[in-house]
Structure 1
Amino acid sequence: MAEKKDPRTGSRSPTCSRAQRRGRALIVLHIRPPKIMGALERSMVQHPINLLSLAASVRAAGHQPVVWDFEVEPFSETIVRARAAALQPGLVGVTGMTANIKVGAKILGWIKDAVPGVFAVVGGPHGSALPEETLREFPEFDAVVVGEGELTWTELAGRLTRGESLAGTFGLAWRDRDRVVVEPRRELIRDLDVLPLPARDLIDLNLYKGASSPGLDATLHRSTEIFSSRGCPQDCIFCAAKVTFGRAIRFRSAAHVLAEVDECMTKFGYRHFTMEDDTFTYRPTRLEELCRGLRERGVSWDCDTRVNIVTREMLQMMKDSGCRKVAFGVESGSPRILKEIRKDIDVEQIKRAFAAAHEVGLITTAFFIIGGHPSETAEDLEASVRLMREIDPDLMAAAIAVPFPGTELEQIMSEKGLIASRQWEKYTHIHSVPCWRTENFGPEELVSLQNRIFRRFFFRPHFVLKTFKKALSWHGARYYGRSLWQIIRYLFIEGRN
């Protein structure tokens, strides 16, 4: 890696000698590292839409993007080194969730050994929350893209290609020899319609075998994901999304979203779409436009949203336009905990939303959290179990709350001395024994509570009978039989790190 001195600041920032030497477009490599996955996750790996959006942006700027997805592609040190040596990228970025930040650093270390002079970057929520700490902890990273990535990533590629200093690149943290420079955060993109559509042509779509949303049979739903907005206006203490996208919600226009639907249908043959927005129904007028367009195209879809921004009429409109499933973040059945985590919903709203979704015939998913506030008690958790049974969702997920860097939950638990260590690989919702505790439960107790809640929900007679009725067709028997086996493997066979 060469260095160039900035005449204005005196700082020495790295330049991409490979790009300058070639005098042509930069090969920009985007990587999703592997993560801990049980049988359930392996059956429904989603497309890396975040990387595909970054790749589309640098391609529009004239560079040559490449995407490696090690959640579906063969992975080993030998494979990474050989592929990197053959590709010879000038810039490489890895998406860094907290749980896989260590393996992301290993991957970039291998690539830097194989390709001297390559510039290595990490993006995502972990580095966005801890930019300086991440660079000091992991010498494999040359820089961190902080927050929303497209504009910063494209500017970085251009600066490296032209041999310019990195000083003044908003949204970037980078090394200036022994010191770390954290530039001001870049302003969020106000008009998301200016972004090119995700570059799905850069991945082998045949590697993604399952439906991307639980409860939908992969053999019947060839599906992909769409982000039609960014940000969430809520302020839940456990959520790390605002670290990257802030609390201001920004919408793509209905026309822009439907253009992506059209491309996915005509170029890639997709007929089902998982809308990955945190609050898909937040703007009713836009929702009406989208429902009208989706109905005209004859596709199916599903979404996530909040219980306090849906009505029965809205859910009926969604059902009529092809919506198959809706997922709600419930988090807790305890009014006290809902208030403590600042969920800004109440139990009656939860009950009404699920009742309405059942009435119109939508598949429902309820997301619950164990330890969403460190003061949660056994009585609070029992209230959650009672609510699960009353709202009777078709699917339920109970995650152990993770004190992700940058969240208020992490701040509260740190101040109370509840986090024993920062073993980043343990920062998962369902596959690890936590390296933290709550005020009332130790790490092993949290795991035991999680498993017990799963068993009490999925193995109760009512749920078994309801699921058996759905399995009375050939497709139903295959799907629900496979799903049952995956649940059994998770609860009784697969271990935890």
Structure 2
Amino acid sequence: MKNGKIVLLNPTAPENPPNYFGPPYGLSLIAASLLRQGRNVLAYDFAGIPLADSLESIKQIILTQRPSYAGIPIQSSTRGAVYSITETIKKTGLNIKIILGGPFTTTHYRLLLENFPVDYTVIGDGEKTVLELLECLDAGIEPIGIAGLALRKNNKILRSPDRMNESDLDKLPTPAFHLFEDFEKRINEQGPWHNNRDFTLGQRSTNVKNSLLLLSSRGCVYSCNFCPMSSVLKNKIRFHSPGYFVSMVEHFYKKYDIRDFTFGDNFFTLIRQRALSICDEIIRRGLRIRWNCMTRPDAVDLELLTKMRLAGCFEVSYGVESGSPKIQRATGKNLDLERTEEAFRHTGLARMRSILMLMVGNTKESEKTVDETLAYARRIRTDNVLVKQARVYPGTKIHSLYESWGGFKKGHYLGSDPEPPILARPGQEDKIKGLYSSVWPKTIAIHLRSACNNRCACCKQAAGPSKSLTRIKNELDLAYNRAETVIFCGGEPILHKNFSDVTAYASLIGIHHQQLYTNGRIFAYKTLAKKIASWHQIETIIIPFFGDTAMHDLTARVKGAFEQTINGIRNIRASCGQAKCLQANIIVDRRNIGTLRKLTGRLSTCGIDRFHFIYGADSKATIALDAKDMPPIKASARTLKNLVGDLAQKRKAATFEGWPLCLLGRLTIGAYEWHAPFDEVITLRPKIHLCREVRKKMKAKPSFCEGCGKSQACEGVWKSYLRHYGTADIRQ
């Protein structure tokens, strides 16, 4: 066989990202190396294509093209798809040699060769190994002596010595992205927010829908226990020269008209002067590009960030992981946390967005260390936050730790479950999940209008006309770039004439977690209750209550409002079943404090899933009580403690807002202000507000709070309450 044809197949992933970052990087480099050798190479990307469809396509490709070799990258999350692909290829009956590469082959080559129809696995960097392997196979030579390779021979698994990683990345070719069909067209397809101002994009990690990922380096000098680089001991990081890397950017900029890039290095600013040189070269060549990157927040300064902005950088993601010094040491991250706070401020001064990346549940995590992280988060101002749970990936230090705990079931990697296990000792999973759930995801509340079919006495929404659909779309673009969940509120949002278009647009641009704040009366009409069932993207419906029948009607200033709302809840349940979560926001005041048990009991019976109790004012700028209507703060906290036990027996969740943490005691686990430090609201005024900063202006801490163990976490007491009642009730 001479110069046999090879087909490269990128498998479908169980969860494909909402952004397209270009063809698979490693596979594109392999393809480029093969092309430079003069080989006949075909490449296909099945990311985002259902497995059944991709298997049928692969079968047709194999039968039509009849290649000699098939190269497939594999990760732990895609192993199930790869297992199916290898079987599909072998079932064609053609004598095709299957070569697997990627992170999973490096750690689990034996499992793959022993259990699946795989001929060769590449260990470590594959550019040179694959070239040498194909040369041997073309010539009919047994490739046993090739470094960085494992194979099966005579029912034995043979592994050659490791290959030394290429230290000079400039020797590698430019990735052959062009082999993948329409890659430049997909990169340049942007969503409707693309022409608006730049805003961060939360979990999606970039504010452009699609961007081309390029690497100026490989690896990292650190050995964080959750990162696969933690097991790499030699040549931990290697670089392209600044000139070579910018030439690569320029190639795709000029030949394919690509303007949006992601510089995907683990630690872009590791060498400050090198980062500056890359920026200077981009500016010198006049490349009008936008790019984002990831780095450590203790490795930037205002001068560097300003130069990055001038070179087109619009966003920096900072991997902080934890605000606890103890966890910093345990993970090996070892950040200077005080310096990181300055990085977020400097990023803003440089007119770039910042993303805070956190991880909860690593080794030695506890309620105390999570509280330290939440306290840290409150000291910084970031455009978005990405919170992940510590999970166990092959090649990491915590993988070995989890294995020593007996965490893996027998045959775990022979299965296809793409979800890596959370880092927890057997039997401790719920505890670790609880720690993770204590850092609440960011939400943005958008007020659509002020007009309402109620006339609530405690409504504090500014009067004004309904927002136009155009303005709401712009605000949704902003929200998409800053959070994963949007709450529609303001007056009665359902009555906005374009509400259906609003929710449809939110879904179109990728806001998949939507909530509706409504007084609920309107769903007493069964036709509207049935309509909300068709709005699948609305996951949660939030309904405020001011007390039992008489109290609610009095505050809403509409006779029969309570019963209409109850009927609305029943109609929603009849139309939607359990598909939507129903939350009751109960505003606690002097007149309803004695009827809360009766109220929550009736609402539970009607179908409410969870309760949110509000003292004084809510954070979404919808409701605020006059001080004279607030019940004694300490007595109201005692009432809540007694009530929550009843709700727990009914399996109803409860959260709280407005009380000082010292009074909540064990209920602080549900204290909104502490666990949701990132939430924002867009009122009828054209400005976005950070909820915690709005509350800060309305609260104060009496002098005796300084000695309280909760002082660091607590926001204090409403100023209006202190003016009206003083501090005696709190100090008792």
User: SS of 1:187's equivalent?
Assistant: coil
Which of 1 and 2 has greater Rg? 2
Q: Quote the Cα distance in structure 2 between the aligned partners of 1:178 and 1:323.
A: 53
Determine if contact 1:240/1:404 at 8 Å carries over to the other structure.
yes
Determine if contact 1:29/1:89 at 8 Å carries over to the other structure.
yes
Find 2:208's aligned residue among 204, 217, 226: 217
> Partner of 2:63 in structure 1?
85
Moved more, 145-154 or 124-133: 124-133
Find 1:321's aligned residue among 311, 318, 322: 311
> Partner of 1:381 in structure 2?
370
Q: Per-residue deviation at 1:372? A: 2.2
Letter paired with 2:81: V
Determine if contact 1:367/1:398 at 8 Å carries over to the other structure.
yes
User: SS of 2:245's equivalent?
Assistant: helix
The answer to whether the aligner puts 1:237 opposite 2:213 as a matched pair is no
> Partner of 1:167 in structure 2?
144
The answer to whether the aligner puts 1:69 opposite 2:45 as a matched pair is yes
Q: Considering only aligned residues, what root-mean-square deviation do their CA atoms show, in Å?
A: 3.0
Q: Quote the Cα distance in structure 2 between the aligned partners of 1:122 and 1:234.
A: 28
> Partner of 1:486 in structure 2?
512
Pair 186,290 (structure 1): closer, same or farther in 2 beyond 3 Å = same
Q: Quote the Cα distance in structure 1 between the aligned partners of 2:417 and 2:347.
A: 33
Determine if contact 1:232/1:246 at 8 Å carries over to the other structure.
no
Q: Quote the Cα distance in structure 2 between the aligned partners of 1:440 and 1:111.
A: 38
Determine if contact 1:377/1:440 at 8 Å carries over to the other structure.
no
Pair 31,349 (structure 1): closer, same or farther in 2 beyond 3 Å = farther
Q: Per-residue deviation at 1:146? A: 0.3
Determine if contact 2:390/2:423 at 8 Å carries over to the other structure.
no
Q: Per-residue deviation at 1:101? A: 1.4
Letter paired with 1:379: K
Pair 487,241 (structure 1): closer, same or farther in 2 beyond 3 Å = farther
> Partner of 1:458 in structure 2?
443
Q: Per-residue deviation at 1:352? A: 1.8
Q: Per-residue deviation at 1:210? A: 5.7
The answer to whether the aligner puts 1:353 opposite 2:343 as a matched pair is yes
Pair 286,398 (structure 1): closer, same or farther in 2 beyond 3 Å = same
Q: Per-residue deviation at 1:366? A: 1.7
The answer to whether the aligner puts 1:300 opposite 2:293 as a matched pair is no
Determine if contact 2:262/2:293 at 8 Å carries over to the other structure.
yes
Q: Per-residue deviation at 1:177? A: 2.2
Letter paired with 2:382: P
> Partner of 1:284 in structure 2?
272
User: SS of 1:391's equivalent?
Assistant: coil
Q: Per-residue deviation at 1:490? A: 12
Pair 396,421 (structure 1): closer, same or farther in 2 beyond 3 Å = farther
The answer to whether the aligner puts 1:30 opposite 2:19 as a matched pair is no
Unaligned runs of at least 5 residues, structure 1: 1-19, 462-467
Determine if contact 1:128/1:244 at 8 Å carries over to the other structure.
no
Q: Per-residue deviation at 1:350? A: 2.1
Determine if contact 1:371/1:401 at 8 Å carries over to the other structure.
yes
Aligned ranges for residues 40-79 of structure 1 at < 5 Å? 41-44=17-20, 46-73=22-49, 75-76=51-52, 77-79=55-57
Q: Quote the Cα distance in structure 1 between the aligned partners of 2:295 and 2:148.
A: 29
> Partner of 1:130 in structure 2?
108
Q: Per-residue deviation at 1:248? A: 2.2
Q: Quote the Cα distance in structure 1 between the aligned partners of 2:290 and 2:316.
A: 12
Pair 417,255 (structure 1): closer, same or farther in 2 beyond 3 Å = same
Q: Quote the Cα distance in structure 2 between the aligned partners of 1:164 and 1:172.
A: 14
Q: Quote the Cα distance in structure 1 between the aligned partners of 2:538 and 2:302.
A: 35
> Partner of 2:120 in structure 1?
143
Pair 146,447 (structure 1): closer, same or farther in 2 beyond 3 Å = same
Q: Quote the Cα distance in structure 2 between the aligned partners of 1:245 and 1:104.
A: 29
Q: Quote the Cα distance in structure 2 between the aligned partners of 1:174 and 1:244.
A: 22
Pair 133,491 (structure 1): closer, same or farther in 2 beyond 3 Å = farther
User: SS of 2:439's equivalent?
Assistant: helix
Q: Per-residue deviation at 1:84? A: 1.5
Q: Quote the Cα distance in structure 2 between the aligned partners of 1:72 and 1:298.
A: 30
Letter paired with 1:264: F
Moved more, 138-147 or 381-390: 381-390
Q: Per-residue deviation at 1:448? A: 5.8
User: SS of 1:57's equivalent?
Assistant: helix
Q: Give the alignment's TM-score, normalised by structure 1.
A: 0.83
Pair 244,313 (structure 1): closer, same or farther in 2 beyond 3 Å = same
Q: Percent identity?
A: 23
Q: Per-residue deviation at 1:383? A: 2.4
User: SS of 1:230's equivalent?
Assistant: strand
Moved more, 198-207 or 330-339: 198-207
Count of residue correspondences? 453
Unaligned runs of at least 5 residues, structure 2: 192-200, 447-466, 481-505, 515-536, 541-578, 581-732
Q: Quote the Cα distance in structure 1 between the aligned partners of 2:347 and 2:427.
A: 34
Q: Per-residue deviation at 1:338? A: 0.8
1:359-379 per-residue CA deviation (whole Å, 9 max, x = no partner) reads: 212111122112222x31122
Q: Quote the Cα distance in structure 2 between the aligned partners of 1:444 and 1:26.
A: 53
Q: Per-residue deviation at 1:131? A: 2.1
> Partner of 1:4 in structure 2?
none
Q: Quote the Cα distance in structure 2 between the aligned partners of 1:64 and 1:322.
A: 37
Pair 476,264 (structure 1): closer, same or farther in 2 beyond 3 Å = farther
Q: Per-residue deviation at 1:322? A: 0.9
- Bigger relative CO (Cα 8 Å, ≥ 6 apart): 1
Determine if contact 2:223/2:332 at 8 Å carries over to the other structure.
yes
User: SS of 2:512's equivalent?
Assistant: helix
Q: Quote the Cα distance in structure 2 between the aligned partners of 1:191 and 1:46.
A: 24
Q: Per-residue deviation at 1:279? A: 0.8
Pair 86,398 (structure 1): closer, same or farther in 2 beyond 3 Å = same
Q: Quote the Cα distance in structure 1 between the aligned partners of 2:394 and 2:433.
A: 21
User: SS of 2:173's equivalent?
Assistant: coil
Determine if contact 1:125/1:241 at 8 Å carries over to the other structure.
no
Determine if contact 1:94/1:104 at 8 Å carries over to the other structure.
yes
